Amino acid sequence: PKYVYLFKEGRADMRALLGGKGANLAEMTNIGLPVPPGMTISTEACKEYYHIGGKMPAGIMDEVKQYLTTVEEQTGKKFGDLSNPLLVSVRSGAMFSMPGMMDTILNLGLNEQTVQSLASNTDNLRFAYDAFRRFIQMFGDVVLELPKHEFENLLHRQKEEQGVTYDQELTSESLRKVINNYKEMIESETGHPFPEDPMVQLTMAIEAVFRSWNNDRAIIYRNLNKIPHDLGTAVNVQSMVFGNMGNDSGTGVAFTRNPSTGENVLYGEFLTNAQGEDVVAGIRTPRPIAQLKEEMPVIYDQFEKIADLLERHYKNMQDIEFTIERGRLYILQTRNGKRTAQASVRVAYEMAKEGLITKQAALLLVEPNQLDQLLHRQIDSGAKLNVIAKGLPASPGAASGKVVFDSDEAERMGKTGAKVLLVRMETTPDDIHGIVAAQGILTSRGGMTSHAAVVARGMGKPCVCGCEPIRIDYAKEEFTVGQLTVKKGDIISIDGSSGQVILGEVPMKEPEISSEYSIVLSWADEYKRLEVRANADTPEDAKKAREFGATGIGLTRTEHMFMGQERLPFVQQMILAETLEERLEALSHLLPMQQGDFYGILKAMEGYPVCIRLLDPPLHEFLPSQEELLIETTELKITGKDPKLLAEKQQLLKKVRALHEFNPMLGHRGCRLGITFPEIYEMQIQAIFNATVELTKEGYNVLPEVEIPLTIDVNEMKIFKEKIVAIAEAAMSAANAKFHYSVGTMIELPRAALLADELAEYSEFFSFGTNDLTQTTFGFSRDDAEGKFLPNYVERKILKENPFIVLDQKGVGKLMRIAVEGGRKARPGLLIGICGEHGGEPSSVAFCHQIGLDFVSCSPYRVPLARLAAAQAAI
Ligand code: ADP
Ligand code: MG
Ligand code: MG
């Protein structure tokens, strides 16, 4: 099989085979951009490496050697040659970009002999030794897996010996000593001398990249981003160019638009006289790209044109890595740029306005889950802030938390529920778990494209980076700014939109929505077929839902209206009633209250349907717990003060015991309550229609949908349907009014899904309650599952996802298909929706579109996301 491809043999659409980096290097080569020549070893080779138990597949290196001769021709250099040696970089690159997750080796091919040729060809011994020093260090770290800090210590010791602070101040003699010390250390730690043979170096490096696919950081990143573990990585072997050959050289990273705001300006950073990773590693703080225009105007011009060309070519904002070698520009990487939600919306909007892409393409450019970020909290602008420092605004949103300097500690404290802010000089991929656990990240070094910044933006976490005024002392676990000392555990806040670091907690407020955002979402409404409703129990929620673009309520839970101090006593009285009269008495107090609730919600949603579910939870949820009552009665018995109260509490305890269920989730709840206590449902139905009559008379067009929960059989539906119709008819004739209403059922038990055709006879609509349907299909109770065994199932890949978050299309989805088909066969045009939490999860929304539902319903805050997801499903 062919494992190796020259850059000119590949294309952008070969990502799966060549990895994202390789495919784009190929594409750029073929559109004529200045890419240093090279080749890509395919992901197939990596898969084969693992398939045969972690061994290099036979013949791979022969292929590499063969293609190397082409690269030699293209560059005029020869690998391992003594007069004009070709040096290469070995770069990992998987199908999905995994920033900083796997390591790159630069300057490979150097040894004691070639380093001398490099020195004489460039007339710069110091440069050659520096390149060699870096190579040995990267090779030692990535390939030989020796601890980084051992190299850093040796380097540091040499700086001390020479009496300098910075790497670039080291003389060639000092670098020579560092190289010797590195080599000695490698030999003593590994038992083998540093490999001088370039081909051995190359073979080992390629194998190390294959290996790195399964290092801990890579696995965590893939788990976090739901990237499959079996894709493998490609390896790019590319001829080196040098950004560290003097002041007419440099290296940088730039986005074609501002990744934080979306503004259409080149946005990036560069360093002169620096090699590769110096920018991304955040070790020196780079300068804004705009300054390149002043320093190297011709190069800047050329780069701007290339950036524009790449954006037009890929029809997406690009993130470009470049290097300048002695006044010549090279492009080393391009990929779709990661961006904040705000930038994402603005870029999509502006690209469509600029005519670069269609509206549909613009909608596909925005990741629905990202819209959540736009609902991030901001610091209240009226607040008085004690700003102690300012860094770079790397990822928007504000966060407060206890200062923590260590990622393990951040994780530990995060697990106890503490809000922490991770403060580091810089972060590396080893800090991922700390970043996950923290509310926000603050670093003292590194630019907008440093590791911390990139990762935080991806996760939608607030981040301030490159905050140089703060001096961190890891040993003392504190940082200082001027006179001020902030210790571990002290609370600070950061504002990732302004870069401010603030002492103490700050008041936060909800964000304002931009006009681009509203327009892009209105485009979504043009293309989506699914109606997006919201789950809302109060008029306030209903109003919010309308603001966010909901066109109906998919679920109003009436039980929330049974809570509250002035209501609960009547609810309890209703439950405890020994006779029908007593129960009706209690219900007569609840009726006007419920009527008022329905009035408010129906009015807030005027013109749109409101689906009201009759009482669902088991009655004991409205009573005190057995434990509580036992303590109270015991106390009352001991003090003997209030025998009347004691008798009441004892009576209550008896009732609570009687209502006790072994498995309330499968117990006396849902419409089973309506069967056994018909007067409860009758009161609710009456309240709905009284409110409807009131509003109709006031001239409002309201559309109540009465929904029966937890049905299992058509006979239940028949009873409720007849009752609802009778009460509605009576309400209409008593008030001499006419209104629209409909009657339907939740589908949340497998039996209901299987017998949906029968249920449809008495149902004008179905709504999938996928929370319960998931519980009952799997036989998992959610709380037990998520707390006890589900994480294990997901970790071991027995289940791909937590089915309570991402709809289980295979199992639960199959029941849904059966119900849709059955329901529509019995009643063509049957209205069908979903109101479980899955209604606000993008892949589940797409599934609902696919199986022909009419609406999804989710929490008001997720409505924008669902609108976009629904549009994407339809495009
Ligand atoms: P990552 O995936 O972490 O971004 P890369 O493979 O892009 O890793 O390498 C990191 C950096 O190394 C690049 O940004 C670039 O500056 C430098 N680099 C990689 N290959 C070369 C090369 N052939 N010549 C010069 N610099 C290189
Ligand atoms: Mg890169
Ligand atoms: Mg339910």
Q: Is 601 left (phi over 0), alpha (psi -120 to 50) or beta?
A: alpha
The CA distances from residue 231 to 22, 92, 429, in Å, are 15, 13, 20
Closest residue CA from atom 6 of ligand 1: 91
Residue whose CB lies within 8 A of the most ligand 1 atoms, among 88, 104, 318, 427, for a mutation test:
104
Q: What is the pLDDT of residue 744?
A: 98
Burial class (CB in 10 A: 0-12, 13-18, 19+), 161: exposed
Q: How far apart are CA 373 and CA 461, in angstroms?
A: 9
Residue whose CB lies within 8 A of the most ligand 1 atoms, among 331, 333, 428, 449, for a mutation test:
333
Q: Which residues are annotated as a binding site for Mg(2+)?
A: 748, 772
Q: How far apart are CA 854 and CA 842, in angstroms?
A: 16
Q: How far apart are CA 423 and CA 403, in angstroms?
A: 7
Q: Is the CB of 91 under 6 A from ligand 1?
A: yes
Closest residue CA from atom 24 of ligand 1: 240
Distance of CA 207 to the CA centre of its chain: 31
Q: How far apart are CA 848 and CA 125, in angstroms?
A: 66
HSE-CB at 347 with a 13 A cutoff on CA atoms is 29
Q: How far apart are CA 458 and CA 454, in angstroms?
A: 6
Q: How far apart are the first and last CA of the chain?
A: 38
Residue whose CB lies within 8 A of the most ligand 1 atoms, among 21, 35, 137, 277, for a mutation test:
277
Of 767, 710, 765, nearest to 740 by C-alpha is 765
DSSP state of 305: H
Please identify every residue annotated as catalytic: 451, 835
Show the tokens assigned to 609.
């349907």
Report CA(110)–ligand 1 centroid distance (Å).
17
Task: Report phi then psi at 468, rounded to 5.
Answer: -65, -30
DSSP count for the chain of H helices, then E strands: 34, 33
Burial class (CB in 10 A: 0-12, 13-18, 19+), 124: middle
Q: How far apart are CA 187 and CA 189, in angstroms?
A: 6
Closest residue CA from atom 23 of ligand 1: 240
Q: Residue 743 forms beta bridges with which residues?
A: 706
Report CA(687)–ligand 2 centroid distance (Å).
63
CB 414 within 8 A of CB 432: no
Q: Residue 89 forms beta bridges with which residues?
A: 238
CB 231 within 8 A of CB 44: no
Q: What is the pLDDT of residue 561?
A: 79
User: How would you classify the pairing of strands 703-708 and 742-747?
Assistant: parallel
Q: How far apart are CA 223 and CA 106, in angstroms?
A: 28
Q: Is the CB of 333 under 6 A from ligand 1?
A: yes
Q: How far apart are CA 358 and CA 353, in angstroms?
A: 9
Q: How far apart are CA 35 and CA 272, in angstroms?
A: 19
Amino acid at 835: C
- Lookup result for tokens 């007419």: 248
Q: Is the CB of 237 under 6 A from ligand 1?
A: no
Amino acid at 600: G
Q: What is the pLDDT of residue 627?
A: 85
Report CA(321)–ligand 2 centroid distance (Å).
6
Report CA(730)–ligand 2 centroid distance (Å).
72
Burial class (CB in 10 A: 0-12, 13-18, 19+), 584: middle
CB 583 within 8 A of CB 574: yes
Grouping H, G, I as helix, E, B as strand and the rest as coil, residue 193 is coil
∠ CA 336-450-416, rounded to 5°: 105
Q: Residue 399 forms beta bridges with which residues?
A: 494
Q: Which ligand is nearest to the CA of 105?
A: 1
Please tell me the pTM assigned to this model. 0.80
Q: What is the DSSP string of 738-782?
A: ----EEEEEE-SHHHHHTHHHHGGG-SEEEE-HHHHHHHHHT--H
Closest residue CA from atom 1 of ligand 1: 100
Q: Which ligand is nearest to the CA of 34?
A: 1
Of ligand 1's listed atoms, the one at least distance from the Cα of 36 is 23
Architecture of domain 376-509: 3-Layer(bba) Sandwich (3.50)
Task: Report phi then psi at 204, rounded to 5.
Answer: -65, -35
Q: What is the pLDDT of residue 100?
A: 54
Q: What is the DSSP string of 699-743?
A: T---EEEEEE-S--SHHHHHHHHHHHHHHHHHHHHHHT-----EE
Q: Which ligand is nearest to the CA of 324?
A: 1
User: How would you classify the pairing of strands 38-41 and 4-6?
Assistant: antiparallel
- For 4-239, CATH number out of 3.20.20.70, 3.40.309.10, 3.40.50.40, 3.30.1490.20 equals 3.30.1490.20
CB 99 within 8 A of CB 337: no
Closest residue CA from atom 12 of ligand 1: 276
Q: List CB-based neighbours of ion ligand 3 within 5 Å.
A: 748, 769, 772
Burial class (CB in 10 A: 0-12, 13-18, 19+), 18: buried
Show the tokens assigned to 8.
């000119």
Domain 528-562+569-611+679-874 has CATH 3.20.20.60: yes
Distance of CA 660 to the CA centre of its chain: 41
Q: Which residues are annotated as a binding site for substrate?
A: 557, 613, 748, 769-772
Mean pLDDT by 10 residues, the chain (875 residues): 95 96 97 98 96 94 97 95 94 82 86 96 93 95 92 93 87 96 97 97 95 87 84 96 91 93 94 75 76 95 97 96 96 93 94 96 93 76 87 88 95 91 88 90 84 74 91 95 94 92 89 86 97 91 90 91 81 90 94 95 97 93 86 89 88 88 90 95 97 97 97 98 98 95 98 98 97 95 81 87 92 98 97 92 96 94 92 97
843-848's contacts with Cβ under 8 Å and 24+ in sequence apart are: 843/806, 843/807, 844/770, 844/806, 844/807, 844/809, 845/368, 845/530, 845/869, 845/870, 845/873, 846/872, 846/873, 847/807, 847/809, 847/813, 848/530
Q: What is the pLDDT of residue 286?
A: 83
Q: How far apart are CA 9 and CA 669, in angstroms?
A: 65
Strand (E) positions, 462-621? 463-465, 471-473, 478-481, 484-487, 491-495, 500-503, 508-509, 531-535, 553-557, 609-613
Of 453, 498, 447, nearest to 287 by C-alpha is 447
Report CA(873)–ligand 1 centroid distance (Å).
37
Show the tokens assigned to 51.
């398939």
Q: How far apart are CA 371 and CA 506, in angstroms?
A: 24
Q: Is the CB of 89 under 6 A from ligand 1?
A: yes
Q: Is the CB of 100 under 6 A from ligand 1?
A: yes
Q: Is the CB of 321 under 6 A from ligand 1?
A: yes
Residue extents of the structural domains in the chain: 4-239, 250-339, 376-509, 528-562+569-611+679-874
Closest residue CA from atom 22 of ligand 1: 240
Q: What is the pLDDT of residue 103?
A: 78
Beta carbons within 10 angstroms of residue 275's beta carbon: 23
The CA distances from residue 555 to 71, 723, 824, 838, in Å, are 64, 21, 21, 13
Show the tokens assigned to 352.
């469509």
CATH assignment, 250-339: 3.30.470.20
- Lookup result for tokens 């029966």: 708
Of 156, 153, 448, nearest to 286 by C-alpha is 448
The CA distances from residue 165 to 157, 279, 509, 588, in Å, are 11, 19, 44, 83
Grouping H, G, I as helix, E, B as strand and the rest as coil, residue 455 is helix
- Lookup result for tokens 């681009």: 516
Report CA(583)–ligand 1 centroid distance (Å).
76
Handedness of CA 51, 53, 58, 60 (dihedral sign): positive
Q: Which ligand is nearest to the CA of 251?
A: 1
Report CA(134)–ligand 1 centroid distance (Å).
13
Q: Is the CB of 251 under 6 A from ligand 1?
A: yes
Report CA(247)–ligand 3 centroid distance (Å).
68
Closest residue CA from atom 18 of ligand 1: 276
Q: Is the CB of 240 under 6 A from ligand 1?
A: yes
Residue whose CB lies within 8 A of the most ligand 1 atoms, among 332, 338, 427, 449, for a mutation test:
332
Q: Which ligand is nearest to the CA of 332?
A: 1
Distance of CA 153 to the CA centre of its chain: 37
Grouping H, G, I as helix, E, B as strand and the rest as coil, residue 491 is strand
Q: Is the CB of 332 under 6 A from ligand 1?
A: yes
